[in-house]
Amino acid sequence: MTYRVTKKAESQRQKLAAMRRGADAARMAEPAPDYPRELPELRREIIIIDHDFGERMHRLALYKSDRVDCYRVEIDGKPWKARIGWSQILAGLRKSMPRVGAA
């Protein structure tokens, strides 16, 4: 059994359909959007210089991966992760830095 469609509901459907047609026509009249440019192979680079125990320098190279929000990471030229997100990179970086007591 189907429900009866009231006049008010039918007029609302027609109004929404007309608005949809108008929005589609306006979108089609505009020029096509520019697609995002091709991302470079090396997307980000983090250089850490640690002065606590002598001067040590580490370089994190973040390369593009098969997902736009993930990276392939190399640390000092050695592969670390094949695909990892920005938050996980920062968490791993935070965990790898030793804590130093206050003087």
- On whether the CB atoms of residues 45 and 77 are closer than 8 A, the answer is no
Judged against a pLDDT cut of 90, whether residue 34 lies above it is answered with no
* Pairing mode of beta strands 56-64, 70-75: antiparallel
Average pLDDT, the chain: 91
pTM: 0.61
Q: Alpha helices, DSSP H only, in the chain?
A: 7-29, 86-96
Percentage above 70 pLDDT, the chain: 98
Higher per-residue confidence, 37 vs 59: 59
Judged against a pLDDT cut of 80, whether residue 86 lies above it is answered with yes
Instruction: Name the DSSP letter for residue 66.
Output: S
